[in-house]
A and B are shown apart, each in its own frame.
Chain A
Amino acid sequence: MWARALAGIVPGFLLSAGLVGLLTWSLPGSWQGTLVPGIVAFFAVWIGVMAASFQFANGKRAWACLSALALATLGALWVLQTLRWIE
């Protein structure tokens, strides 16, 4: 339980940040325009990710999977932001 809970808290936080970032930056208009909805949504998304992390078979998989997803979403966000494909 504990390993999976921590996976939901730490890499889960980063994954939620990546997901919310991708969504709010991809919406039409400037990123500043969706600042508050994004932060409100972040809390709901993070709670969802934390709950979902208990579905993994064990803590090791939860950490590996959530870390990989967090890296992928935050990486994609960073690339898209740097290329100025989203702003």
Chain B
Amino acid sequence: MKLSSNTLRTFTTLHTWVGLVAGFALFVAFYAGAITIFHHELQAWQSPHGVERPVETLDDAQHLLDETLSRHPEARKHVGMVFPGDEYPVTATYWQDAQGQWRFATLDALDGTDEMPGGALSELVNALHYSLGIPVAGAYLMGIVSLLYGLALVSGVIIHLPKLVDDLFALRPGRNLKRLWQDAHNVIGVLSLPMHVMFAVTGALLCLVMVVMFALNPLVYRGQLMQALGPAMDTAPQIAAAGRAQAPGSLAMWQARSIEIARAQGLESFEPAYLKLANAGDANATVEITGESPGALGPLGAVALNANTGALLSTQLPGQRDANHVTLAAAYALHFGEYGNVWVRWLYFLLGLGGAFLFYSGNLLWIESRRKRRQAQQGRAQLWMARATVGVCIGVCVAISVAFVATQWLQSGAMRDAAQLGFGVNLACFVAWGLCALWAALRPPIRAAQELLWLAAIVTTAVPFAHGLATGAWWWTSAAAGHWDLFAIDAGALAIAVGFAWLARVTARRAREGEPNSVWTAVPSTATAPVEAPQT
């Protein structure tokens, strides 16, 4: 395919600039997102008694629901809860109070808290993933970043289209290091393209859906979007309260009924994961039970019942869903990797790390392609780009590992209170990140890159040790006891630490043996020092 040189130039410029603008945020989103794939495993890993604590039963959950409804009248209007099970060892209820603030209750905190149960660390990593940890505005920012990322993908494909097939598997090692990086950038970008397209679209969707719907409502939907939204996204029909009291059914009854109904629709398994109960205690109370049916793309389906009698109201189960629910379930499942078995999630993890490499290598290519070959002193822009890349990208890897260690260390000490622990873990993470960025700003980039990579390797190695010291769950005892989720996180941390050490060594070799006159070289003089006469 032949493109005019003008087109190529336009899209190369576009690709470069959207890549630079969005690249840092995308690096953080992909690195933290790769870890967030193991969100539930992380919740078990960070909980000090996660292993010994008995899995809560349906009776415990029933007790929690009864207490929530009697203690918090606002919850009777609308309450959600997770079923106890493999996925969520600790059951919780959640509702909005009179001010619209989300409240949460667990068996340990029946009076309710403002903190989402599940733990500070997994919430922090998740927040870094979808908002860089910035409250409110961060999610919108990431929505815009997702759109830029979509543009980077389109322009990237267009500029590589003419040589796509020839270059696809070309990985040319040798003297020309820049070409090797370019090849690696291209091959990872093209091979994981379907994945990246999906993330760009679903990422923009998850972050910007409210804003866009607000704009589309008058343009396309004649102002009727908001009324149509409930039926399009929920399963239970919205039925007004009758004003007559009636005792609600039990969790056990809802669970049994939903499984029975799913079976009758030909689904072999249906494991209730969470429910939404509306107008509890009223004659018109409804309950929507969402559960997982493995083997479907978009495995989550839902059954809506009359909460008092268990009479079937409607279903949206895999195989028998309308277009709205199919799309919604597929978009969620594709974004979060929640389909298929555990291999799909490992694939997502690797593709997430691969995506992080894509953005890191993009920045490096920008610096290298602007290098002045005959000049020891490189431009300020290249130098600061190198510093920012090292400080933000390697810095966030250090900071996330620091948060892992801090979680274990803080909760083994005095900070058992959830809010205090959350504050401490967040503080540790962002202070570490800031210090890394500062270090990168003060040191020559090549030195900072090596030092921060070694630091990342050391702190990440400390992750399984902190876990073992704080909880007694060493990776070998976890493996022996069959707690593979705990083992996988400890072993994964060690593997990533080895990766950081390897990168540090490769970077050191680049500094020694690579082409001179680069921000990445230690020979002859680095760009921070005034140019000295070459010594002969």
Name A's B-contacting residues (CB within 8 A).
1, 13-14, 17-18, 20-21, 24-25, 31-40, 42-44, 46-48, 50-51, 54-55, 74, 77, 81
Check A51 against B151 for contact (C-beta < 8 Å): yes
CA distance A31 to B217 in the complex (A): 12
CA distance A1 to B328 in the complex (A): 35
Q: Which of B8-16, B411-419, B463-471 contacts A (4 or more CB under 8 A)?
A: B8-16
Q: Does B164 sit at the interface, judged by CB under 8 A?
A: no
Check A50 against B323 for contact (C-beta < 8 Å): no
Instruction: List B208-230 residues whose CB lies under 8 Å from chain A.
Output: 208-209, 212-213, 215-216, 219-222, 225, 228-229
Partner of A43 from the list B201, B225, B323 (CB cut-off 8 Å) is B201
Contacts A35-B324, A36-B324, A74-B219: A42 and B212 contacting too (C-beta < 8 A)? Answer: yes
What are the residues of chain A within 8 A of B232 when measuring CB–CB?
A: 32, 35-36
What are the residues of chain B within 8 A of A1 when measuring CB–CB?
A: 10, 13-14
Instruction: List B442-480 residues whose CB lies under 8 Å from chain A.
Output: none
Instruction: List B182-226 residues whose CB lies under 8 Å from chain A.
Output: 197, 200-202, 204-205, 208-209, 212-213, 215-216, 219-222, 225
Return B364 CB to nearest CB of chain A, in Å: 24
Q: Which of B11, B13, B197, B327 counts the most chain A CB atoms within 10 A? A: B327
What are the residues of chain B within 8 A of A33 when measuring CB–CB?
A: 322-324
CA distance A54 to B155 in the complex (A): 10
Check A43 against B205 for contact (C-beta < 8 Å): yes
CA distance A43 to B222 in the complex (A): 20
Check B150 against A34 for contact (C-beta < 8 Å): no
Q: Considering only CB atoms, which chain A residue lies closest to B331 in the complex?
A: A40
Return A28 CB to nearest CB of chain B, in Å: 11
CA distance A81 to B208 in the complex (A): 26
Q: Top 9 closest A-B pairs, CB basis? A: A21-B220, A47-B150, A36-B324, A51-B154, A35-B232, A36-B327, A37-B327, A32-B228, A17-B219
Contacts A42-B216, A46-B147: A54 and B221 contacting too (C-beta < 8 A)? Answer: no
Instruction: List B316-371 residues whose CB lies under 8 Å from chain A.
Output: 322-325, 327-328, 331
Interface 0/1 of B154-185, CB less than 8 Å to A: 11001000000000000000000000000000
Given A39-B205, A39-B216: 8 more A-B contacts, CB < 8 Å: A31-B228, A35-B225, A36-B324, A39-B212, A39-B213, A47-B150, A51-B155, A54-B14
What are the residues of chain B within 8 A of A25 when measuring CB–CB?
A: 220
What are the residues of chain B within 8 A of A36 when measuring CB–CB?
A: 232-233, 323-325, 327-328, 331
Check A47 against B324 for contact (C-beta < 8 Å): no
What are the residues of chain A within 8 A of B222 when measuring CB–CB?
A: 81
CA distance A34 to B228 in the complex (A): 11
CA distance A7 to B200 in the complex (A): 21
Contacts A13-B215, A14-B219, A54-B14: A37 and B151 contacting too (C-beta < 8 A)? Answer: no
Q: Considering only CB atoms, which chain A residue lies closest to B322 in the complex?
A: A33
CA distance A10 to B303 in the complex (A): 41
Q: Does B231 sit at the interface, judged by CB under 8 A?
A: yes
CA distance A39 to B220 in the complex (A): 11
Check B10 against A54 for contact (C-beta < 8 Å): yes
CA distance A13 to B220 in the complex (A): 12
Q: Which of B158, B220, B325 counts the most chain A CB atoms within 10 A? A: B220
What are the residues of chain B within 8 A of A43 when measuring CB–CB?
A: 147, 150, 201, 204-205, 208, 212
CA distance A14 to B154 in the complex (A): 20
Check A34 against B323 for contact (C-beta < 8 Å): yes
CA distance A47 to B196 in the complex (A): 13
Check A31 against B221 for contact (C-beta < 8 Å): yes
Instruction: List B96-151 residues whose CB lies under 8 Å from chain A.
Output: 147, 150-151
CA distance A54 to B322 in the complex (A): 37
CA distance A51 to B205 in the complex (A): 18
What are the residues of chain B within 8 A of A35 when measuring CB–CB?
A: 221, 225, 228-229, 232, 324
26 A-B pairs with C-beta separation under 8 A: A1-B10, A17-B215, A17-B220, A18-B220, A31-B221, A32-B228, A32-B231, A32-B232, A34-B323, A35-B324, A36-B323, A37-B323, A39-B205, A39-B209, A39-B216, A40-B205, A42-B216, A43-B150, A43-B201, A44-B150, A47-B151, A47-B200, A47-B204, A51-B158, A55-B7, A55-B10
Q: Considering only CB atoms, which chain A residue lies closest to B204 in the complex?
A: A43
Check A48 against B154 for contact (C-beta < 8 Å): yes
Check A21 against B219 for contact (C-beta < 8 Å): yes
CA distance A52 to B423 in the complex (A): 46
Q: Considering only CB atoms, which chain A residue lies closest to B225 in the complex?
A: A35
Check A44 against B201 for contact (C-beta < 8 Å): yes
Check A47 against B147 for contact (C-beta < 8 Å): yes
CA distance A51 to B324 in the complex (A): 28
CA distance A36 to B205 in the complex (A): 10
Q: Considering only CB atoms, which chain B residue lies closest to A50 in the complex?
A: B151
Q: Which of A20, A24, A43 counts the most chain B CB atoms within 10 A? A: A43
Q: Considering only CB atoms, which chain B residue lies closest to A34 in the complex?
A: B323
What are the residues of chain B within 8 A of A24 when measuring CB–CB?
A: 220
Check A77 against B220 for contact (C-beta < 8 Å): yes
What are the residues of chain A within 8 A of B208 when measuring CB–CB?
A: 43
Return A18 CB to nearest CB of chain B, in Å: 8
What are the residues of chain A within 8 A of B147 when measuring CB–CB?
A: 43, 46-47, 50
CA distance A51 to B153 in the complex (A): 10
Return A43 CB to nearest CB of chain B, in Å: 5
Check A40 against B201 for contact (C-beta < 8 Å): yes
What are the residues of chain A within 8 A of B205 when measuring CB–CB?
A: 39-40, 43
Check A54 against B11 for contact (C-beta < 8 Å): yes
Q: Considering only CB atoms, which chain B residue lies closest to A22 in the complex?
A: B220
Check A20 against B220 for contact (C-beta < 8 Å): yes
Check B154 against A47 for contact (C-beta < 8 Å): yes
Q: Considering only CB atoms, which chain B residue lies closest to A56 in the complex?
A: B10
What are the residues of chain B within 8 A of A55 when measuring CB–CB?
A: 7, 10
